[in-house]
Structure 1
Amino acid sequence: MNSTLTYSQAESFLLRLFQKVNLPKDKALATTKILLEGELLGHRTHGLQLTMPYIEHIKSGSMEIEGTYDVLNSAASSKLWDGKYLTGPWLIQKGIKKADVMAKENGVGTVVIQKSSHIGCLAAYLEEATQNGNMVIIACSDPDNKTVAPFGGTTGVYSPNPLALGIPTETQPLIIDVSMSATSNGLIHQKNKTNEPLEHPWLITPDGEATTDAKTFFEDEPSTILPLGGLDSGYKGFALGIMIEAMTSALGGHGRSSEPGRWGASVFIQVINPKKFAGESYFKREMERLKEQSLASKAANADRPVRMPGERGLALKTKQMKSGLRLRNDTFEGLQKLSEEFGLKL
């Protein structure tokens, strides 16, 4: 099976596919771009693998496709939007642009979005967003997801809650995308599907034992995900998970207390303009110097030298743009099934 697609082949297929389910052109373009960017950066669970659930949620009506967001609150440097469960990538790209405009004038622009649909890979938004010299922060939670246990507990309370930052330097930007949990829901589903163990004991059973067995996540009394730091220092990840809940759902006015019963996201977007602080040139120089010092640090393992956040993903993106996207078998098979269902050629 040839599971390699060129960027243009994948882009063309996705756009035609989203057209088949009546997703408006602007939302189809935004979603296609983010799913492909996630795949290019190597985030396989949050790249083209998301095409299948996105199509299902569009078909079922749980991902809305028509209309636009409502502005619920507005100030010079902050906005609160009701995303009305519209297409997540479209909402986030709109939010970044609005925050960018506010930051140009005020130094900082913040957009918080309640009731977005799934927003994909957070890292996928960052390289482009830093090209004008701004720092970008994105965080999200899913108020309907309770798969992460608080430190010291075994019952799921909140979602993996990723935090992403795009930081410009004099050369390649730093791209940080870290969940406040030991692993993601997507990776657990992948490992369960392929009957593989997790790389580390990132789950905790109802009996309080850490495990690598992804299948326990799907039992009647399921295991849950440990907070970032695991059994040793997961109190730190738990605290950071609470921080994300405050930044997203609490600021957004729609969260777990609302009991949404629907797959979605509460989102925090902030753009920071260094020109309104110490200046863009100093900011980039300072971050470049830190990068140089980090890379020059003596490696603990000569075969694994220090790597900056986002470095591997950006290198993989460059490689895949030239040689094509080598898809996981299950991703390719899922796209093939969709091509047959909608009468499209992959």
Structure 2
Amino acid sequence: MRVSCERLEAALVAHFEGLGLPAAHAQGVARVLLEAELEGHTGHGLARVGQYTAQLRAGGLNPRPRMRLEEGRPGVAVLHADWALGPVAGLFALEALVPRARAQGVALVAVRGAGHAGALSAYVGRLARAGLVGLAFANTPPALAPGPVLGTNPLALGAPAEPYPVVVDTSVAVVARGRIMAAAKRGEPIPLGWAVDRAGRPTTDARAALEGALLPVGEGKGYALAVLVEVLAGVLAGAVLSPELTLPWGPPEQAARPGLLLLALEPTAFGEGYAARMARLLGALEAVGGRVPGWRRAALRARALQEGIWINESLQAELSELGLRL
């Protein structure tokens, strides 16, 4: 079935308000989930409603957190999120980050003690639309071969551009674990080369992949990038390292609280000419048939806003069981 974005947003807001969230927080969570769904990032969209719901009901996350921003030095702040849902804390962090970056040229906010933040494009995209160049790094529960010890450890960039911002949002695994989780729910196979099973053998079984490990993109290079993100989001910004984080399907009362580092830069702090140089870069990419990251997302979003969001039967059943009225 296809459901309009407005109808889905209203259902999600009502659902999360029913779980105890204030209206503004419920709306923020709904929009972050829907943006992922609209842009084709379904592993971080409606498929996460069940996870968030279980964690709230079990007390693993706090529906009414008392978040506290600690500013130790100019340009650097730490948000102690009090077990908030990840999107609640991430959007709160952006509200603190934007004015500081505009005033100082650069600013960072580290988020500690919050749940899964969702797609990082939600945050860097907002920074780009605010006229800032944004970077985001998050550590995640262990998933990556060998081990697993490290998570898929996503990183993202958002940069102002015309007609749409440049948005890079990628994990250091061949594929985000959310896509494998979605395939497992649907009982569908995954492509060979995405993951290995518990014994380290290549597998197309999504459930076996979740019990095993995901393969890093570019082999050793992807693994090195995972270490880079772990240092920034785990060692530096976070309070917990990837191997210490609870798996997404673990006990909901023990919800993972990964680290999230958000950074924003004001282009004019580097002098004039940003827009012209960006236009030249995009022109050069397009001249050779290169894809501009983020523009496909924008097209998918525009189409979904017109046509509605497709919800398959298994997801319909799951949302209905959670009490969502579509």
TM-score normalised to structure 1 length: 0.86
CA RMSD of aligned residues (A): 2.0
1:68 positional shift: 2.1
* 8 A Cα contact 1:171 1:288, kept in partner: no
Equivalent residue, structure 2, for 1:293: 284
Contact 2:37 2:46 in 1 (8 A): yes
* 2:172 is equivalent to residue 180 of structure 1: yes
Secondary structure of 2:84's partner?
Answer: coil
1:208 CA displacement: 4.2
Aligned to 1:226: 215
Determine if contact 2:135/2:264 at 8 Å carries over to the other structure: yes
Q: Secondary structure at the match of 2:112?
A: strand
Structure 1 residues 264-273 or 325-334, which shifts more?
325-334
Query: Which stretch of the first structure deviates more once superposed, 188-197 or 318-327?
Result: 188-197
Aligned twin of 2:73: 75
Counterpart-to-counterpart distance in 1, 2:303 and 2:178: 24
AA in 1 matched with 2:259: S
Which of 239, 246, 251 lines up with 1:254 in the alignment?
Answer: 239
Contact 1:77 1:109 in 2 (8 A): yes
Structure 1 unmatched runs, 5+: 300-305
Instruction: Find the aligned partners of 1:206 and 1:54 in 2 and give their Cα distance.
Output: 27
Amino acid at match of 2:168: I
**C-alpha distance in structure 2 between counterparts of 1:242 and 1:21, whole Å:** 36
Q: How many angstroms does 1:11 deviate by?
A: 1.0
Question: 2:261 maps to what in 1?
Answer: 268
Deviation, structure 1 residue 330 = 2.6
How many residue pairs match? The answer is 318
Query: How far apart, in 2, do the equivalents of 1:185 and 1:236 lie?
Result: 19
Query: Match for 2:113: what amino acid?
Result: K
Q: Paired residue for 2:142, among 141, 146, 156?
A: 146
Q: Which residue of 2 aligns with 1:216?
A: 208
**Where in structure 2 are there 5+ consecutive unaligned residues?**
247-253
Q: Which amino acid aligns with 1:102?
A: R
Is residue 163–residue 178 contact of structure 1 (8 Å, CA) maintained in 2? Answer: yes
Amino acid at match of 1:178: T
Offset, 1:207: 4.7
| Structure with larger Rg | 1
Q: 1:260: how far off?
A: 5.6
Tell me how far apart the structure 2 counterparts of residues 213 and 260 of structure 1 sit (CA, whole Å): 24
Distance 1:253 1:161, change over 3 A: closer
State the match for 1:318 in structure 2. 302
Letter in 1 for 2:293: P
Distance 1:106 1:15, change over 3 A: same
Match of 1:328 among 303, 312, 321: 312
Indicate whether 1:345 and 2:321 are aligned. no
Alignment partner of 1:307 is 2:291: yes
Q: Which amino acid aligns with 1:164?
A: A
Are the equivalent residues in 2 in contact too, given 1:164–1:177 (CA < 8 A)? yes
Matched, 1:284 2:275: yes
Distance 2:203 2:304 in 1: 34
The answer to whether the Cα contact below 8 Å between 2:75 and 2:107 also exists between their aligned partners in 1 is: yes
SS of the aligned residue for 1:239 comes to helix
Cα 1:87–1:283 change in 2 (3 A) is same
Percent of aligned positions with the same letter in both sequences? 26
Q: Is the 8 A contact 2:135 2:157 kept in 1?
A: yes
C-alpha distance in structure 2 between counterparts of 1:172 and 1:252, whole Å? 30
- Indicate how the Cα distance of structure 1 residues 37 and 258 shifts in structure 2: closer, same or farther if over 3 A, else same: closer
